[in-house]
């Protein structure tokens, strides 16, 4: 009887654990898609868009690149400003301009590749280079992706260079403070941030 009860207890606990793991996996998956489905996302230079016009195969384009001038080119419509707009805003602009050629056009604009969402790590890290900002990342997570520091890194003199509204901002980061528990100093990264580890 004792063995049977033990087996029942084990199976019950195992079931509860599996249920919890599945719930956690679903939550993580939902969180990982937050950036790509965010309605507040602003199109940037380097992004690749997919423009689909319902029932108009000739006006459907798989890879529309946002050029350095922030514009895209659509046949019939020429250049359209895309940078700084949401996909919904761009959809409405394309629909308005297409209405001159197509009756009641229905357009869908989706983000195929967020090429504008990148950050950079330079200096005394194992993996110097350009990284995609595919989700909400903090400085500490960025160092993990860069495979950590070299033995010569000055972890208390790290600089984060950020450009916003045409101005350059330099933020000092002390990695040791963050790992000692001052989590408020673990800054969330933005597109085009440059992390310099002296």
Among candidate residues 94, 38, 47, 101, the one with its CA nearest the CA of residue 70: 47
The pLDDT confidence band at residue 7, using thresholds 50, 70 and 90, is very low
Domains of the chain, first to last: 48-113 (3.30.1950.10), 118-197 (3.10.560.10)
Q: What pLDDT does residue 135 have?
A: 79
Among candidate residues 160, 164, 144, 145, the one with its CA nearest the CA of residue 198: 160
Cα 193 to Cα 175: distance, rounded to the nearest angstrom: 17
Half-sphere exposure of 169 (CA within 13 A, CB side): 10
Strand partners, 196: 122, 159
Phi, psi of 46 (to 5 degrees): 100, -15
Q: What pLDDT does residue 20 have?
A: 38
The pLDDT confidence band at residue 8, using thresholds 50, 70 and 90, is low
**pTM across the whole model:** 0.64
């Amino acid at each position: 009887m004792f063995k049977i009860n033990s087996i029942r207890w084990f199976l019950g606990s195992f079931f509860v654990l599996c249920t919890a793991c599945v719930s956690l996996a679903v939550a993580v998956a939902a969180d990982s898609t937050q950036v790509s489905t965010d309605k507040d996302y602003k199109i940037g230079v380097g992004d690749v868009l997919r423009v689909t016009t319902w029932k108009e195969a000739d006006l459907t384009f798989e890879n529309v690149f946002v050029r350095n001038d922030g514009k895209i080119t659509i046949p019939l419509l020429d250049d359209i400003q895309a940078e700084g707009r949401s996909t919904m805003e761009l959809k409405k602009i394309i629909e308005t301009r297409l209405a001159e050629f197509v009756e009641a056009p229905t357009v869908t604009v989706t983000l195929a590749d967020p090429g504008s969402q990148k950050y950079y790590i330079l200096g005394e890290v194992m993996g110097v280079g350009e990284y995609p900002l595919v989700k909400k990342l903090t400085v500490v997570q960025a160092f993990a992706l860069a495979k950590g520091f070299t033995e010569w890194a000055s972890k208390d003199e790290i600089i984060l260079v950020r450009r916003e509204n045409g101005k350059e901002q330099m933020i000092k980061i002390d990695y040791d403070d963050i790992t000692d528990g001052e989590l408020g100093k673990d800054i969330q990264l933005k597109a085009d941030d440059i992390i310099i580890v002296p």
